Amino acid sequence: MKDVFLVYNTSCFYEIVILTYFMNFSNCDMVFCSLDGKPVKATEGFSVNVDMTLKNIEKEKIRSFIIPGGNISVIDNADVKRYLQDLNKHDVLIAGICAGVDVLDNAGILCNVKSTHSTGEDLVCDKNIITARANAYVDFAIEVAKKLDLFVSEEDLQETIDFWKHYNRVQ
C-alpha cells in the first residue's frame, strides 16, 4: 500500500519531513505526487521531483494521503475535492497540516469530524482523519506514524517522542 503526499509549489516540507523520515526508516512505499507531475518548488526554496500525477495513482492502493501546508490555491479545486471524498469513503487515512487542513475542510472531509478547525487543539485525530497546526509538525509525524503502526513497540514510540519532542539523546 502507498503513502501518498500531495505536493505543490510552496508546499512546506518542514511540516512533513519528520514523517517522511519515519516512513523511509520503516520502508514505506512513499509516493510524492503533484497535479501536473512536474517538479515543485518548496517554501524552503528547494525543488522536488515528484513520482507521478495525482490522477495516475490507483486509489485502491493508497494507505494514507498527506497534504502539507503552503499556498493551497493550486490544489484547492474540484478534482482534488472529489479525490479526497472518494478516499474518505474508503476510510483511507487522510492527514493535513497547516493549510492542508483547509483543503480537507473545503472538500467536506471535516464534516462530523473533530479537527483543528473545530477545536483549539494543535493536533486532532478523529476516525481516519488527522489534522494539525503548523507548529505541531512533530506531533503530526508521530500521530500519523502511530496510525500506520510504524513503531515496533511502546518503547520505540517513547524513544521517538523523547528524541524528537524532548531532544533527549538516544544511547
Over the stretch 57-83, which tens digit does the pLDDT of each residue have?
Answer: 999 999 999 999 999 999 999 999 999
Using the predicted structure, report yes or no on whether residue 37 has a pLDDT greater than 80: yes
pLDDT at 34 (0 to 100): 98
- At 9, which CATH number? 3.40.50.880
Hey, is 144 helix, strand or coil? helix
52 pLDDT tier (thresholds 50, 70, 90): very high
> Residue 52 sits in which domain range?
2-164
Beta bridge partners of 113: none
pLDDT at 18 (0 to 100): 98
- Is position 170 within any domain? no
Neighbours of 88 (CB within 10 A): 21
Q: How many domains does the chain have?
A: 1
Residue 74 gets the label, from left (phi > 0), alpha (psi -120 to 50) or beta, of: alpha
Q: What is the mean pLDDT of residues 110-123?
A: 97
- Is position 141 within any domain? yes
36 pLDDT tier (thresholds 50, 70, 90): very high
Helices 154-164 and 137-147 meet at what angle, rounded to 10?
170
What's 73's DSSP letter?
Answer: G
Torsion over CA: 133, 139, 145, 147 (sign):
negative
Which residue type occupies 126?
D
- Is position 8 within any domain? yes
Using the predicted structure, report yes or no on whether residue 171 has a pLDDT greater than 80: no
pLDDT tens digits for range 103-112: 999 999 999 9
- Is position 169 within any domain? no
**pTM for the full predicted model:** 0.96
- Is position 171 within any domain? no
Better-scored residue on pLDDT, 24 or 171: 24
- Is position 96 within any domain? yes
- Is position 65 within any domain? yes
- Is position 101 within any domain? yes
- Dist CA 165 CA 141 (whole Å): 11
Average pLDDT across the chain, whole number: 97
- Dist CA 76 CA 23 (whole Å): 26
- Dist CA 61 CA 39 (whole Å): 23
Using the predicted structure, report yes or no on whether residue 170 has a pLDDT greater than 80: no
Q: What is the mean pLDDT of residues 117-144?
A: 98
